[in-house]
Amino acid sequence: MESILRQVDERHEELLELLKTFISFETPAPPARNTKEAQLYVASLLEELGFEIDMWDVYPNDPNVVGILKGSDSNNYNSLIINGHMDVAEVSEDEQWETDPFTPIVRDGVVIGRGAADMKGGLAGAIFAIKLLREAGVELPGDLIFQSVIGEEVGEAGTLQCCKRGSTADFAVVVDTSDLHIQGQGGVITGWITVKSSQTYHDATRRNMIHAGGNLVAASAIEKMVKIIEGLQELERHWAVTKSYPGFPPGANTINPAVIEGGRHAAFIADECRLWVTVHFYPNETYDQVSKEVEDHILKVAEGDIWLRDNLPTFTWGGASMIEDRGEIFPSLEIDPTHAGVKLLAKSHHHVTGKEAIVDVSPTVTDGGWLADAGIPTAIYGPGDLLNAHSVNEQVSIEQLVEYTKTLMKFICEWTNNQE
């Protein structure tokens, strides 16, 4: 193993070339529907390494790739999923990149390009680690499953589709941006709250519905939504006081009124108003639980209003895509520091870096929650930091990329040779 680990240093230029190739595939989401060429390339690399390939379209021109390398004694040894996403954050036309975001630059100890940190560095390092193990003839008794998925940046959860297709293992590592911390995460769910009147009125009737003697029991849906927003703020403050989770700053469980849509024309009283909210919750909570808490509180707020009690708000939660249906879910992931997989990953990290592994929580979200939601013990561990993710001139440290590749190589070998 020490000899193979040294090869990462000796052949790190090959690793960088692989990462540069990945970056050169233009896969921003949005607009999405652009990963097929890159995913075909991943499939070809895995196939050369002996993996059986399962590739299918989640959306047109956006396929998932799952490679399966059967172990020599699958029934008795641990299986492992390595998971990462091929899509990258969008690039706006007015961003001041040093060069084209998809023409990578290597200099001063970093690789610069869209996706370098989030998270093509993680994908490249994982494949290179497996390549060196295979070239050295290292036997893996347990199954190794490699998932290169689409849609993470826009909530399309290619990982969820892998789970629905039956992809599972004894442990999973999501090689997303974590600065080499071993992490769990909170969760996110978006939702739409709708206030709607059963009647539509001309704006000339407004005097009748707001002044004495008007005799018209009616209301503007936009104005009533103000009460809903105030109710959300009350609940958000209550959560900040009553809930906490180690590693998160107080009040990280937020309710953001992100988008509001309402009314049809200046000559009408607004008969409908829709509010798009984003709810962040802690690793020990579920999206079903927190969405129910929001509903229960807002319905009580509505029951205290003379008009809303007869025109109760309705709720629509989640969604399969921020592009297709303007909604998403990222389940939470509560990491277990005592799990054999987490302990071995931390041990591998210490062996390579000489530093104790930091086990904590990510301030953002990944597809790891879907693996955990499917009952697979999961940890996030990857190169790159969140200051670079989605940033202009996004970059990843070459030194960190090499350390990550070595750590993952050692972990893959030892975990799939483990019978715990």
CATH assignment of the domain containing 279? 3.30.70.360
Q: Which of 317, 348, 375 is the last residue of a domain?
A: 317
* Residue of 87, 153, 176, 285 marked active site: 87
* Residue of 62, 118, 152, 385 marked active site: 152
pLDDT digits 0-9 by tens, 162-210? 999 999 999 999 999 999 999 999 999 999 999 999 999 999 899 888 8
Q: Are residues 230 and 295 in the same domain?
A: yes
Mean pLDDT, rounded, of the chain: 96
pLDDT at 419: 87
Q: Are residues 256 and 206 in the same domain?
A: yes
297 lies in a domain? yes
Q: Are residues 147 and 54 in the same domain?
A: yes
CATH number at residue 171: 3.40.630.10
Residue 394 annotated to the active site: no
Q: Are residues 170 and 221 in the same domain?
A: no
Residue 17 annotated to the active site: no
Please give the single-letter amino acid code of residue 234: E
Give the residue from 182, 137, 133 showing the smallest Cα distance to 405: 133
pLDDT digits 0-9 by tens, 130-162? 999 999 999 999 999 999 999 999 999 899 999
pLDDT digits 0-9 by tens, 309-356? 999 999 999 999 999 999 999 999 999 999 999 999 999 999 999 999
328 lies in a domain? no
Mean pLDDT of 252-267: 96
Half-sphere exposure of 122 (CA within 13 A, CB side): 30
38 lies in a domain? yes
Q: Are residues 158 and 39 in the same domain?
A: yes
Indicate yes or no: pTM above 0.85. yes
Give the residue from 352, 383, 282, 354 showing the smallest Cα distance to 2: 352
**Number of folded domains that form the chain:** 2
Measured in degrees and rounded to the nearest 5, phi and psi for residue 270 equal: -60, 115
Q: Which of 317, 347, 367 is the last residue of a domain?
A: 317
Q: Are residues 280 and 236 in the same domain?
A: yes
Confidence of residue 212 (pLDDT cuts 50, 70, 90): confident
302 lies in a domain? yes
Residue 367 structural domain: 2-185+333-416
326 lies in a domain? no
Q: Say yes or no to pLDDT of 278 above 90.
A: yes
Confidence of residue 215 (pLDDT cuts 50, 70, 90): confident
The CA distance from 252 to 118, in Å, is 22
